[in-house]
Each structure stands twice: as structure tokens, then as C-alpha cells.
Structure 1
Amino acid sequence: MTLSRRRLLNLIGCSAAASPFLTPVSFAAGPWDNRLVVIILRGALDGLDAVQPYGDPAWPELRRTLAGGPEIGSPDLDGFFALHPAMRPLMPMWAAGDLGFVHAVSTPYRDKRSHFDGQDLLEAGTMSLAEGARDGWLNRLLQTVPGVSGDTAYAIGRGDMYLLRGSAPVANWSAEADLTLSPQALRLMELVMQDDPKMHAVLQEAELLAGADVDAGGKRRPGHIRTAAFAAERLRSDARIAAFSLNGWDTHQDQHRALPKALERLADVLLTLKEELTGPVWNKTGVVVMTEFGRTARENGTRGTDHGTGGVMIYAGGALRGGQVGGAWPGLGQAELYQGRDLEPTRDVRAYAAWIMRGLFSLDATTLETKVFPGVDLGDDPRMMR
């Protein structure tokens, strides 16, 4: 009896729901040598806690229980801003110029402060949701470049990312998917698939993902680290763009307990990317970390913060110029706050992302302002490239 590929997959229980190569993380490959990683923080990161403006005189009064700074263990960045203690492991990256921040940024989204609408607008990259954009801004970027393939960009996660939605090809993978095969089953699959290039490529990816699941000691790694490790593996190969999201940033109460855990996961991800993208690949990589909006300047009555407006963008990578907190600081005095409650945005976060893409991929300003981020004003070069 001839053992077909379909029957073999059924026999070993390799269902679509369980296969890491059939479930989503987004990647794309392109005609460049530089790499871009986009990480979306879902739930609205409190940028004022992550990158603490302890030098602003209004800061202690606004954050009576949450205020941070060098005096209580937050590593100093530049004499005005300090980093949340949970991200202390990133300080060597900061010192090496591989990590930076931009404060007081936002998308054009204002006032309603809905997670869903805020995230949709962030990933659509348009001026408003009324424009009805069907494509995400990363996919529109890919549409402007010839020679893009499904291995160019990867979206990583359990669901479709608006960011990479569109006509340009992308690939997807999810760290939550699991595939366990014995060495005998893997060898049998290799024999059956050796004459089929497409199926053999799928098998190679499955084996790669299985290897990304465990650390050097043989222990299964957490999902966020597996995601970063797999993204790095693909970026060392044909992929040039990777995108994924991290949850857990909505901190309405007991922020002092919830936020450190989320920031530790983010630090793990950035450190894993740097470790896995060693040497020349890291030096050609830019990482952009964005969130839908910031949080209120004043903490609430349950030791948390509510949905706000201005926030922080985090960036990393050997291709970018870190070691700085960019952006025009608006101040935290009552008259300086947006609507008397939020950090005032002083620049569109899309402009910073656009300047990074211009530096990495040599895109012209017109393409960025009209196609990738329609309506954005690039403004002056923030000099984020090395």
C-alpha cells in the first residue's frame, strides 16, 4: 500500500489546529538586507511609568504611590528620565546605544479612548477610522516594494494582525501551537516528503519551531520568548519583517503588581531578539514597540491608571541610534496636560516609525506620507539611524 502524505499526517495526528506552520505569526521577505520587527503592546502601556519623568516637578504629586525615580531604585537614563526597575536588564542595551525611547507620542486617535478603535487605528496607520482602510500599514509598505514573498514578513500570534492585513503576501505562526513528533515519525515524514519541495519546506519549518520551544537545559520556554526566538530564526534567514503583539498592559488597578510582570516579558523579548540576532544581523535590525495610547497622568483611586492619550514608543536594534529619550517634552503641569488629564502628544508616532522605515529600506518621503501612512507629516529627521 502506498502511504500518501495526507494519510501520514492523519496517522501522526498533525491536525491544522495543532500545527505551528498552519497557525499565525507574521513575517515577510523583501529585497533588502535590513530587518524590521514591530511589536504591538495591547492594552495601552503606561509610558509615564515605563520611562519615568522624575525630573518634572509635577511628577510626584500626580503619582503619589506610583512615582518612580533613581531614589527608589529606577535606573537613571539621562538626568530627567528613569527606567522602570522591571526593565533594569535592558540597561546594557541602553549603554551600548541599542535601546531608545520617544516620549509624548500618539496616533491621531483622540478622546474616545477605546482599546479596539485605538488598536485598529494604530495598525491601519491612517488619520481616522472613517477612512475605512482595509490594509494595515506594514502591508502597504510591502505593496510598494517589488520582489516581496511570503517569507518576507511574518505575523506571529493566534489571530490575524490588522498591521499586516492586505494584498502583499505574509506568513503566519503562533507560539501557542504545539507539535510533538518522535524521531521515527520525523524521519518517516522526511522520506515521504523528500520529492515535494513545498511539503519538505513545511517540514523543515516544523522542526525549526520544535527546536525553538526549549532552552539549552531542555525546559520548555515561555510563549513570549518562543515567539521572539522564532522571529529571530526567520530573520536570520529570508524574512525581513516580523510583527507580533504582547498583551497585559491595561493597568486600571494595582499597577505596581501588574505592570512589572508585563515589562519583564517585554525585556525578555528584546533581550532574546538581541541574543538570537547576534553580530551582523542585529546591526541591520530595527525594533519598534508601539501601543494604542498612553494612560492618565494622575493615578486613580485604585493605584492604577486609566486610558489616556500621549504615551511612549520604544525602539531597539543595532541599526538604530539608542541611548536617548527623544520627543518634545510637554510638561506635566495641570495647564500642560491634554484635557487636564493626559500627557499631551507632541508628535505623531507614525512619523517616527516612518523615519525608521525610510532609514532601513530607503523609502522616499512621498511614499511614506501618501501610501504607508496617509496624512502623516514626517517633519524633521529625528536622527534615529546610526
Structure 2
Amino acid sequence: MGPTLSRRRLLTGVGCSLAAAPLITPMAFAEMPSDNRLVVIILRGAMDGLDALQPYGDPALRVLRPGFDIGPAAGAIDLTGFHALHPGLGALAPMWRQGQLGFAQAVSTPYRGRRSHFDGQDILEAGTAGEVPDAQHRDGWLNRLLGAMPGATGRTAFAIGRDDMLLLRGDAPRATWAPDARLDLAQATQDLLLHQYHNDPLFRDNAQKALSLSAEGLGDDAPTRDADGALFAFAAARLREESRIAALSLPGWDSHRGQRNQVTRMFRRLSDGILRLQADLGPHWDRTMVVAMTEFGRTAAENGTQGTDHGTGGTLILAGGALKGGRVWGDWPGLAEAQLLDRRDLMPTRDVRAYAAWALRGLFGTDAGLLSRVVFPGLEMGEDPRLTG
């Protein structure tokens, strides 16, 4: 059982609204008397978990995705004999061998049906079951964790990014911080543009084509790397001091068209961020867990523009010295047509909130009843996946 929370300092991301400045990246922090650390990364735009962790041992994957590079023969890194790591995440392969990288497959929030990015992200950050929380009752699961712990007191610190970050929304006061590095606004603007055009095939397809061509010309542009580096470096600096929980987001995971280039670029951004945390945290990395979550997965089959559409089941990425990794958690549901949800999506076999809950219990000793009733209302935590040693 880990230490109980006796105080907190919340640094939650604020700045401009999504409509006014959609690409500023939100970040938040919390302080507690513990030697362990948690970093939550929200992957906004719906990361394709079947590409991040490729279940190449299921023969249906190549049938569903004939235009994609799949498995070790196409450059992916074999992990289990059934799963392979996307080459864009290849820099993290040594962590897998060291037991500091792992994945939970076939996970999702309770969100179903409409496949809206904004609704899906709200449910992911609110940590609730069922419908999207209404405007008067929306707070985040990390804020509820801190607020419910006995003896906790609220002290405001910093917030970065947009108007609010639901993950840590609550009663705690807020202040702002911005990195010195210039933030690249292009990717968030792309996300907003594609969301606006999503239901109009003519404009959507042309917008996606233009953005894909633009992305091919940009490659790994330095401003984006500088901005990411500043954000992760700031997170590590705070975690070396009083803060014990950090939350930030990486936008840009929507991959309707030209997925190969898009996800490779995004996987490298995520890998670079995790490696920056590892380097800057130094010995504190051994007591750190990184949890990278996304609002929903993508369709099992590729679409007509070498991309994938909004789906359901996805993949959770875990890293850190506090992780008992080198494993893939979760039951594999299969990719045959009859095994898919609505005959199109990977069937979820476990609530992604359960892994977040067990991470909190393992790192901070949080009471299981508190987790299932307050932090993640209505959650069935199920069997302990033993994420920590």
C-alpha cells in the first residue's frame, strides 16, 4: 500500500479556447507526498492502436489492411511473436526489453456509437460511464482523485494551453505557463478543419488530401520538435521537484487519409517525449509511470484513402521504470468479421479506466472503493493486471 495523499498542488492547462487557438497544448500537474510519479498523455484525435501495436499474428489483419505495412517483414519490431511494434515507436524498443514498456490491447472507454472526437475526449478525461457529462457536472478524474483523498488541500500552480483541460477540471484555482519555444499551430488547426468537414465527403476528402500532401513536405519540422521538447522538459522539471502527477496532450492522431506518414510522424513525437522524460527525470524515472490514452480506436479495415476511420477498441501505451512491463495485457478478441464490433471495429475486452485505476492503486495506494465509486464512477476494476512491481 502506497502513501496516502495529504496535500496537492494542481497545475492545470488553460490559455485559449479550442476555437480561438486550437493548437496550444494543455498540461496540468498535481503535487502529493509520494516518491512515485504518474504522467498521463492524452493522444487527441484517436490513435490507431492496431498500427501502434500490430497484431500481425492474426491473419485477418492483412486482409483488412492490404495497403498497410504490417509485421516484422515490413519493418515492424517483433515483440511477442504475435504483436509487433510500429517502426515509428522503434526508439522505445529498448524499454520493452528492459521491462519498461507495455501495452493494453482491445481497450476503450464506455463511449459508443457516435464516434465524436470531442465527446470521446470528454468521457476519457471525465472518467465517467455512459453519456457525455453535462456542462454543470463536468470534472476530471484526476481532480476527483485529489479532491477525495483525506486531508487534501487545494493550492493552485500552473496551467498550459487552452481554456481548460477536463482531466484536471475541478475546484482548484488555476494559473498559466507557456514555454519559451514557439508552438506549432498547424496540427491542431488540421484537426479542427477535418472535424468541421467530417460529414461533408467532398470537402472532407479534398481537405484531407491537401493536408496529407502538406505533411509529406513538412516531415519532422523543427518547430514542432522544439515545442514538444519544451513541454516534456517542463514536465520533467516539475516532477523532479514537488509535483508527482503531470498531464498533457498531443493532438494530431486523426488519420483518415495517408495514415502511413501521419502516424509515423506522431509515433516519433510520442517516442521523443517519453525518451525526454526518461533522460530528464534521471533516477526519478525508476519511480515513474507514463500512461498514454486516446479517446477511441480506429476501424479495423483501411478506407479508400489509405487511412482509417473512427472506431472503438484501441490500445493503451504504458512506460516507465515503475512499470512491470515487457507485456501485452488484455484478451485478444480477434479480427474476423463476426468478431468485430458492428462488423467494423476492434471489439473492446476491457475498460481502459480499469488500467488507469490499477496504476493509481499501484503507485499511490489509492483505495479500490474510492477508485470505483468516486474517481471512475461505475467502474468494474476487475482482476489486478499488476502494472507495478
Structure 1 gaps of 5+ residues are 1-15, 18-22, 179-218
CA–CA distance in 1 between the matches of 2:165 and 2:241? 22
Q: Paired residue for 1:245, among 243, 246, 249?
A: 249
Q: Give, as a single letter, the amino acid of the residue that structure 1 aligns with 2:341.
A: Y
**In 2, are the aligned partners of 1:29 and 1:240 still within 8 Å (CA)?**
yes
**Equivalence for 2:217:** none
- Change in 2 beyond 3 A, CA 1:76/1:86: same
**Equivalence for 1:26:** 28
Q: What per-residue deviation string (whole Å, max 9, x for no partner) do you get for residues 79-100 of structure 1?
A: 1000000111111111111111
* 2:282 partner SS: coil
Deviation of 1:34 after TM superposition, in Å, equals: 1.2
Q: Give, as a single letter, the amino acid of the residue that structure 1 aligns with 2:375.
A: V
Aligned sequence identity (%): 58
**Equivalence for 1:136:** 140
CA–CA distance in 2 between the matches of 1:316 and 1:167? 30
**In 2, are the aligned partners of 1:155 and 1:171 still within 8 Å (CA)?**
yes
TM-score of the superposition, structure 2-length normalised? 0.79
Q: Paired residue for 1:117, among 87, 112, 119?
A: 119
Q: How does 1:211-230 map to 2 (within 5 A)?
A: 222-230=226-234
Q: Paired residue for 1:83, among 66, 82, 85?
A: 85
Q: How does 1:259-278 map to 2 (within 5 A)?
A: 259-278=263-282
2:383 equivalent to 1:359: no
Q: Give, as a single letter, the amino acid of the residue that structure 2 aligns with 1:345.
A: P
CA–CA distance in 2 between the matches of 1:314 and 1:359? 17
Q: What per-residue deviation string (whole Å, max 9, x for no partner) do you get for residues 98-121 of structure 1?
A: 111101000000011000100001
CA–CA distance in 2 between the matches of 1:220 and 1:72? 28
CA–CA distance in 2 between the matches of 1:378 and 1:162? 22
Deviation of 1:155 after TM superposition, in Å, equals: 4.9
- Change in 2 beyond 3 A, CA 1:171/1:326: farther
**In 2, are the aligned partners of 1:295 and 1:305 still within 8 Å (CA)?**
yes
Deviation of 1:366 after TM superposition, in Å, equals: 0.6
* 1:36 partner SS: strand
**In 1, are the aligned partners of 2:110 and 2:351 still within 8 Å (CA)?**
yes
* 2:92 partner SS: helix
Q: Give, as a single letter, the amino acid of the residue that structure 2 aligns with 1:222.
A: D
2:231 equivalent to 1:232: no
Deviation of 1:384 after TM superposition, in Å, equals: 0.8
Q: How does 1:1-386 map to 2 (within 5 A)?
A: 25-129=27-131, 131-132=133-134, 133-145=137-149, 146-150=151-155, 155-168=159-172, 172-175=176-179, 222-279=226-283, 281-386=284-389
Count residues with an aligned counterpart. 325
Q: CA RMSD in A?
A: 2.2
* 1:173 partner SS: coil
- Change in 2 beyond 3 A, CA 1:287/1:353: same
**In 1, are the aligned partners of 2:146 and 2:152 still within 8 Å (CA)?**
no
Deviation of 1:66 after TM superposition, in Å, equals: 1.1
- Change in 2 beyond 3 A, CA 1:24/1:147: same
**In 1, are the aligned partners of 2:38 and 2:244 still within 8 Å (CA)?**
yes
CA–CA distance in 2 between the matches of 1:164 and 1:123? 8
Q: Give, as a single letter, the amino acid of the residue that structure 2 aligns with 1:49.
A: D
CA–CA distance in 2 between the matches of 1:161 and 1:344? 29
Deviation of 1:159 after TM superposition, in Å, equals: 3.9
Q: Give, as a single letter, the amino acid of the residue that structure 2 aligns with 1:370.
A: R
Q: What per-residue deviation string (whole Å, max 9, x for no partner) do you get for residues 277-315 of structure 1?
A: 111x11111111000000000000000000000000001
